[in-house]
Amino acid sequence: MASKSAIVNGEERPAPIKRQASGGSGGGGIQNISGSVVGFWERFTSFLSDVRAETRKVVAPSRKEVQATTSVVLITVFVFGVFFMVTDFVFNRVISQILHKLGGAQ
């Protein structure tokens, strides 16, 4: 069967080969094993080709973008840290008062 080309995401690559199920005639175990090895190799090379194409699309962020996202992360961590510190202080005081009134903590 002749190999056909398919355009996927702007790049040409061969269309997947359709394998026919072997019926009861001819064939044999060795042909099935070699066919599955060849099929695996074709899928593997296609996978590596897709990985390479996706890797080419990756763009590193600029210095300005890194600084902006880093400052957002640091400010967010600080705000949540203060929030949980205040929450912990309030719950600590409430629990201490409850235990003191019940006679558990002296």
**Could you state, in order of their start, the residue ranges of all structural domains in the chain?**
28-58, 61-106
Residue whose token pair is 């002296």: 106
pTM score of the predicted model? 0.47
Inter-CA distances, 24 with 29, 32, 94, Å: 12, 12, 80
Which residues lie across from 5 on neighbouring strands? 14
In tens, the pLDDT along 86-101 reads 999 999 999 999 988 8
pLDDT, residue 3, reads: 46
